[in-house]
Amino acid sequence: MNYDQRATRYFHAKFQYILVQEIMTISRYGIQDYCWLQSLTERRPKMQIMAEILDLCKKPQLKTHVMYQKNLSWELLKKYLHDLQSQEFLQIQIQDSSVKYLTTQKGLQFLTKWNNARDIILPSNKQERYVSVR
């Protein structure tokens, strides 16, 4: 198994783990308390940030534009872009001597799955905080 296959397997396992953790939290506290707990922390889940980046990059975007639009530090942005590229969710395009990021077909499939999971987990009145691809 090469590095890319191991990285893909790790990413999918991590995604499933995070979804299970969120569902367990909801079942433990109930959906109203879960949404209240999420609002207290004001931290976005990693998968949400990844989905927001992919949603923004449906049209080619500069790295700094992604950083400012998604309110990320430079270090966090580099980490997320690297992770998304290694999973082949983002690709680099060179346009007019500038490097831009574009969501791949695989990234669009991730967004669809993310939205399906979000629709199951969150009540409709709390979904405006989360990215939507529809």
CATH number (domain holding residue 96): 1.10.10.10
Please report whether residue 134 resides in a domain. Answer: no
User: Please, which pLDDT band fits residue 31 given cuts at 50, 70 and 90?
Assistant: low
Separation between Cα atoms, residue 72 and residue 116, nearest integer Å: 25
Separation between Cα atoms, residue 62 and residue 109, nearest integer Å: 22
Please report whether residue 31 resides in a domain. Answer: yes
Please report whether residue 133 resides in a domain. Answer: no
Please report whether residue 27 resides in a domain. Answer: yes
Secondary structure (3-state) at 54:
helix
Q: Is residue 39 packed enough to be buried (19+ CB in 10 Å), middle (13-18) or exposed (0-12)?
A: exposed
**Stronger pLDDT, 20 or 107, i.e. the higher one:** 107
How do residues 45-63 score in pLDDT, each as one tens digit? 888 889 999 999 999 999 9
pLDDT at position 52 is 92
pTM: 0.63
Which DSSP symbol is given to 96? T
- Tokens, residue 42: 């004001």
User: Please, which pLDDT band fits residue 134 given cuts at 50, 70 and 90?
Assistant: very low
**Residue range of the domain that includes 55:** 3-123
How many domains are contained in the chain? 1
133 has a pLDDT exceeding 70: no
What's the whole-number average pLDDT of the chain? Answer: 80
